Structure formats: structure tokens, C-alpha cells
Amino acid sequence: MNSPKAQPVLEPQSRVQVDLSVFGQNVRTLKRLIPSDTRFCAVVKANAYGHGGIQCAKTALENGSHFLAVARISEAVAMRDAGITAPILLLGEALPEQVSFLATHDIRASVADIQTAKALSAAAQALNTRLNIHLKLDTGMGRLGFLHPGVVTPKYGEAAGIRQAGDIADLKGLRVEGAYTHFAKADVIDKTHAKGQLTRFNDMVAMLADMGIRPEIRHAANSAAVLELPEAHFDMVRPGVAMYGMAPSHEVDITRHKLAPVMSITAKVIYVKAVPENFSVSYGCTHVTTTPTVIATVPIGYADGYSRLLSNQGQMLVKGKKAPIAGRVTMDFTMIDVGHIPGVKPGDDVIILGPQGNERISADDIAGLTGTINYEVTTGLTGRMPLSYL
Ligand SMILES: *Cc1c(COP(=O)(O)O)cnc(C)c1O
């Protein structure tokens, strides 16, 4: 009666599974596409595209990544708190009042204006240290970055022009370690726009040199450019999506490089019932059975990041067979029709994303049904389903 009882293990009913060995293999595969003296910067922003930021960062470093990149200061701070000491580049822009965090956590800032540079210089001097920064150059993305003189409008744009970067060379406590740009359109077959960006980038790097700034690390390549634009590899590459085994777009073939998906989403059937013909399923009664069938309830919904746009559209895998979604996806549950799959019972495995038997549901399949891209399918997971690592 007094014997200690083992704590019952509460198995999650649905979960996101991340295969870190496949992820590590993808990192090594991508590294083989770049020269051996080109650095590798693993882009692990947005919780590593939903795959778990810390675990993926550590795995990327174990597989030969030199740098990490994130988009938010909080993401970089979380990496430091987890004991990661590798160089971290903040792709986003810090506001002047936030730069002290970058200094105390040894985070490399992207700099695209002189005010941020001055604030960083002051923070570095206050800590009696020197901060590495990377200049961000807008060569055709139209987001962050100093502009090429060819597009600077005298009336509004002077402050954003590359000539302003010259003043950064004189600021104390800063070392311009890098200069980089980001492609808007490297993921299409027609590389005209990307090549125009490359020309402007090379131009602007030469202008920096004229101003006495010669960054050791020039970088430009996202996944698409790592795979298809070798002239953009420079001193470092910054792949994201391809490390997770997903294609940057339908115009970029990753299978020929043997990059494999890292994430799967699995759940257990929690309820099954046989229903008659003319039986309506879920909110709005948008699905009505046309024959007697069997409906199974799966514990995933839009609160998990499983889009409501999949209502009456998506499929899941049960016993290696595709089962169509019946009715609306709700906040917590989604119903599937398993009338054609004998013997489905509570506790059976359901694959929402990933392979089962000879079938597979990819992030691209889900994205195609919901009018978005694979990136949003995995980053859109809300964190309610636990991540588990293989
Ligand atoms: C997200 C991002 C990347 C990675 O892009 P992928 O298409 O996922 O390879 C690289 N650089 C910057 C600046 C980014 O914002």
C-alpha cells in the first residue's frame, strides 16, 4: 500500500517529431555544395522554422556550421542562455535602446543605418569591448539595408544610401566583420533578378573598400542560391529552408540533392464512430455523408497551427492509407473519414505530416491546399503540440 508508485507518463495525443539525424545530414549535404573555406551560417530563426531552435542550432554546429542566424534578439538571447557560444548573427535590426543586449550577449548586429551603428559603438565602449557587426545591403529585396546610389532618391533616401556607411568605419568599438545582402528572387528558374542583385552587391562591396571598409565575410546566399547560384557563395552562405528538407519553391528541385524532410506530425485517433448516410460532421454541417461510413476524430486543430483552410480539403494517413478530412477543422479536433480503412480504433497512429507506408503528406501538399508556402506550414505551428526529437 505504501510502495512508491511510478508517475504515470502522460503521452501527448499529438506531437511534432523532428529527426535531428536527418537534419544533420542535410547540413552536411549542403556543406558539400560550397567551397571548403566558405563558412556555413545555419538560419535557425522562428524556432528553426518550427523544428526547435536550440536543438537545431546545436545539431547544425555539431555538423560543421560555423555561424547561426536568427531574426529576433529574444531568439539570440535564448541561444546564449542555452549555452551556445558560436557566433550568432541577428538578421533583424535592433532599435538603439536595445543594442546593449547585443553587447552583453555577444550577438552580431546587422547594421543598415548610422544611428544603430552609433548606439552600438556607445554600448561597446561602455563595456570596454569591441563588437563585430555586419552591414546589410539592400540590392533588390526592398526590406532592410543600405541602398545602392543608383536608387537613392536625394529627397528622401540619403540617410539610407551606402555612402552613409563610410562614417561607420570611424566609430570606436566596432569592427565591420561582414557585409551581406538577401535575394528576393533566387528561387525561380529565371535568375535575372538575382544576378542583378549580385552585380549591385559586388559594386557596393567595392564602394565600401573605397571608404576603407573591407569586411572579412561577404555573404548573400539563401537556400536557393546555395543550391543554384554558386557565384553567390562568397565567404559564407545562409541556408534555412533546405536544411529542414523543404524546397525554397516549386522551381527549385531539392530531391536531386538528397535533402530529406526533417519534421513529421503525428497523432493518435481519440474517437471512432460508425455513422449513417446523410450524417453531418462538424461546425456549419459542411460535410454530409452520402453513404454509411466511419468517422475518426484526431486531436489537432487550428489552435495547433493546422489551418482551418484544410476543412473538407486535406488528408491524413491511417494504416498507410489516405483519409480525407470531413467537415471543418475546429480549434482542437479534426474529423477524418476512415470508412474505406478497416479496423480503425482509438489509439491508432495518424500521420498529419510525413510518411506512412507508401504514402506521404508533405508541407508542400498542405501549403498547396491552403494557398501558402511550406515555410508557413512549419513555422505556423503554435507550440501546443510538444516537439520530440529522434
Ligand atoms: C530567412 C533568411 C535566410 C534563409 O532563407 P531560406 O530561403 O530559408 O534559405 C537567409 N537570409 C536572410 C536574411 C533571411 O531572412
**Would you write out the chain's pLDDT as a tens digit for each of its 390 residues?**
455 667 777 889 999 999 999 999 999 999 999 999 999 999 999 999 999 999 999 999 999 999 999 999 999 999 999 999 999 999 999 998 899 999 999 999 999 999 999 999 999 999 999 999 999 999 999 999 999 988 877 766 666 789 889 899 899 999 999 999 999 999 999 999 999 999 999 999 999 999 999 999 999 999 999 999 999 999 999 999 999 999 999 999 999 999 999 999 999 999 999 999 999 999 999 999 999 999 999 999 999 999 999 999 999 999 999 999 999 999 999 999 999 999 999 999 999 999 999 999 999 999 999 999 999 999 999 999 999 999
**Per-residue confidence (pLDDT) for residue 96, from 0 to 100:** 87
Radius of gyration of the chain (CA): 25
What distance in Å separates the CA atoms of residue 341 and residue 326, rounded to the nearest whole number?
15
Give the end-to-end CA distance of the chain in Å, rounded to a whole number: 38
* Residue from 30, 42, 104 nearest 73 by CA: 104
Q: Distance from CA of residue 58 to its chain's centroid?
A: 15
Would you call 181 helix, strand, or coil by DSSP? coil
Residue 5 lies in a domain: no
Q: Kindly state whether residue 10 falls inside one of the protein's structural domains.
A: no
Angle at 335 between CA 374 and CA 357, to 5 degrees: 60
Q: Examine the domain organization and report whether 232 and 313 are in the same domain.
A: no
Establish whether 331 is an annotated binding residue. Answer: yes
Asked whether residue 255 is assigned to any structural domain, the reply reads no
Within a domain: 253: no
- The predicted pLDDT at position 150 comes to 84
- Which of 245, 279, 305 is the last residue before a domain boundary? 245
Same domain? 270 vs 365: yes
Q: Which amino acid is at 378?
A: T
**Residue 9 CB contacts under 8 Å (≥ 6 apart), including other chains:** none
Q: Within a domain: residue 2?
A: no
With respect to residue 208, please indicate whether it lies within any of the assigned structural domains: yes
Ligand 1 pocket, Cβ-based, cut-off 6 angstroms:
43, 45, 91, 182, 222-223, 238-242, 248
State residue 328's pLDDT score. 98
Of these residues, 45, 58, 136, 191, which one is catalytic?
45
Q: Which amino acid is at 335?
A: M
**Pocket perturbation via mutation, ligand 1, pick of 91, 246, 257, 376 by most ligand atoms within 8 A of CB:** 91
Task: Check whether residue 123 and residue 177 sit in a common domain.
Answer: yes
Separation between Cα atoms, residue 50 and residue 380, nearest integer Å = 7
Sign of CA dihedral 207, 213, 217, 223: negative
For residues 94 and 222, state if they share a domain: yes
User: Is residue 281 located within the same domain as residue 185?
Assistant: no
Look up cell 558539400; give the residue: 32
**H/E segment holding residue 189:** none
User: 182 and 307: one domain?
Assistant: no
In ligand 1, the atom with minimum distance to the C-alpha of 238 is 10
Structural domains in the chain (count)? 2
The number of the ligand 1 atom at minimal distance from the alpha carbon of 91 is 13
Residue 287's SS3 state is: strand
- On whether both 42 and 115 belong to a single domain, the answer is yes
Residue 60 belongs to a domain: yes
The residue from 245, 274, 298 where one domain ends is 245
Domain extent, residue 217, equals 20-245
Q: Is 311 helix (H, G, I), strand (E, B) or coil?
A: coil
Q: Domain check: are 209 and 317 in the same one? A: no
∠ CA 174-180-183, nearest 5°, is 155
Domain finish residue from 210, 245, 280: 245
| Helices and strands (H, E) in the chain, number of each type | 10, 21
As a whole number of angstroms, the distance between CA 332 and CA 297 comes to 10
Active site residue 155: no
305 shares a domain with 239: no
Claim to verify: residue 293 and residue 210 sit in the same structural domain: no
- Of 258, 271, 273, 283, catalytic: 283
**Res 10: pLDDT:** 83
Q: Are residues 171 and 272 in the same domain?
A: no
- Check the annotation: does 218 bind a ligand: no
Residue 98 falls within a domain, yes or no? yes
Distance CA 36, CA 271 (A): 53
CATH code, 137: 3.20.20.10
Q: Which of 23, 49, 222, 257 to mutate to test the pocket of ligand 1 (most atoms within 8 A of CB)?
A: 222
Note every long-range contact of 159-166, with CB atoms under 8 Å and residues 24 or more positions apart, other chains counting.
159/113, 159/114, 160/112, 160/113, 162/137, 162/204, 162/207, 162/208, 163/207, 163/211, 164/113, 164/114, 165/114, 165/135, 165/208, 165/211, 165/213, 166/211, 166/212, 166/213
Amino acid at 133: I
CA–CA distance, 341 with 268 (Å, rounded to integer): 15
**What residue's CA is closest to ligand 1, atom 10?**
222
Taken in order 148, 150, 156, 159, the sign of the CA dihedral is positive
- 328: domain CATH number? 2.40.37.10
Distance CA 298, CA 335 (A): 6
pTM: 0.96
Based on the fold, state whether residues 125 and 240 are members of the same structural domain. yes
